[in-house]
Amino acid sequence: MKVWKLSVAASGLVVLAAIFAPRLTSPSVTRVIQAAPVGPVGVQDAEIRVVDDPLDPQAWIALGQAYTAAGRQQDGYRAFDQAARLQPGIVDGSNRGRWLTEEERGILLDPTDDELWGDLGDAARARGEEDKALAYYRMAMRLDPDDSEWRNNLVEMGSPDDVLESLEAAAAASPNDDELLGSIAKIYASRGDKQQAAEYFLRALAIDPGDSEWRSELTAMGMGGVVTARMAEAAHSSTDDELIGDYGDALWETGQQDAACEAYRRARALDPDDDEWRRNVAYRCGELSEVISGYVVDHPEAMDGEEAVERALALLQQGQRQQAREWVEAALRLSPRDNDLQNLAASLQGRTKAGVLEELTSQHPQDDELWGDLGDAYMEASRVADARQAYHRAAQIDPDDSEWQRKTRLVDALTY
């Protein structure tokens, strides 16, 4: 294929004609491209260079410079943009002069977009232009103080004061935003300024007493007593079950279990249908009537095996063995398959695990998993004949379960 280029000045237009002749027998195809008015000779040379090698970013930079010198700013923009697309980062102040990149012009179209400013910061940082990057991140931070990316970038670049300045300015404009106050507190805490951190955490907590993050931060700073005292003032005469329940959480987190249970009961009385308060009274306060009530009939998943085990262990540590036993037995009625509960029940009742499972299978005769567990317990006790009966029962209930088929074949082989 041969390509001819023709630059002709006619009526102030540059005409580029490309004639393609792949075969002598094929008709010639002519394309005429009308370009902008002809500038200085440098523009024509730069245009020809781009047409000769359109993948060369330097050719596009030269064209952008030629257009810029000729006063054709928009054409210069487009040429610089193309160079940047071919090789990101190649266009900078040294070769484009005062003209903006495509991304920078985007900022002018939407100066309130923090993501655009952040992207400019990333690009400047990648080029090593840290002063510019800081300026862009500061702008992004002012537009969206909650964005942890901008905060982290500024801190990484050794500029936490910029973060504080931006956050405090935002907090002044939005004084009821507890998330902003909490973010400020965390920065002060990271700098070792415990007093300022505590002040901001307490302000955040006053706005949102239910936010466990602020309570946890203050408790970790040794101010759990202050937290509960502040919340007690608000909860004392309140009829808001959420506030009172959150106060109960704060008391529980600081080891004041009896007071916490009193708060949970108040919250439950104000909203008897709230699952959280009923669960807390049941799990944390050990009121088994709550567990065995119609509530758990409607919500059998409420008695989570792990939580029940933890509660039982807590009762044992307090020396309340009988209560622990009652708790485990109540929990086991709702979660009969829980292995840890089965083991605890055996220990507390002074029975073997097989004995516990025998009772459970009598209560749940169609539960193949319990029959299989009973077979396993019999095998551990070397009661192979009993294991055989249990596995066959499990296989009878669920004939598609390959585990029971495999185990029945095993015990059959052992007993004959």
* Tens digits of residue pLDDT in 340-392: 888 888 988 889 999 999 999 998 999 999 999 999 999 988 899 999 999 99
The per-residue pLDDT for range 109-140, each reduced to its tens digit, is 778 888 888 888 888 888 788 888 888 888 88
Measure the CA–CA gap between 212 and 233, rounded to whole angstroms.
18
CA distances from 323 to 8, 84, 285, 286, 308 (A): 102, 74, 12, 8, 12
Contact 102, 117 (CB under 8 A): no
pLDDT (tens digit per residue) in 46-65: 888 888 888 888 888 888 88
Q: Are 192 and 160 in contact (CB under 8 A)?
A: no
CB atoms within 10 A of CB 377: 22
Which pair of structure tokens corresponds to residue 262? Answer: 């009193």
Q: Residue 7 — very low, low, confident or very high, per pLDDT cuts 50/70/90?
A: very low
Taking 3-state DSSP, the helix, strand and coil percentages for the chain, each rounded to the nearest 5, stand at: 70, 5, 25
Residue 34's DSSP bridge partners are 15
Does the pLDDT at position 394 exceed 80? yes
Question: In this structure, which long-range contacts are made by residues 346-350, counting pairs with CB atoms below 8 Å and at least 24 apart in sequence?
Answer: 348/321, 348/324, 349/325
- CA-CA distances (angstroms) from residue 132 to 105, 124, 397? 16, 6, 72
Q: What is the pTM of this model?
A: 0.40
Cβ atoms within 10 A of the Cβ of 318, count?
12
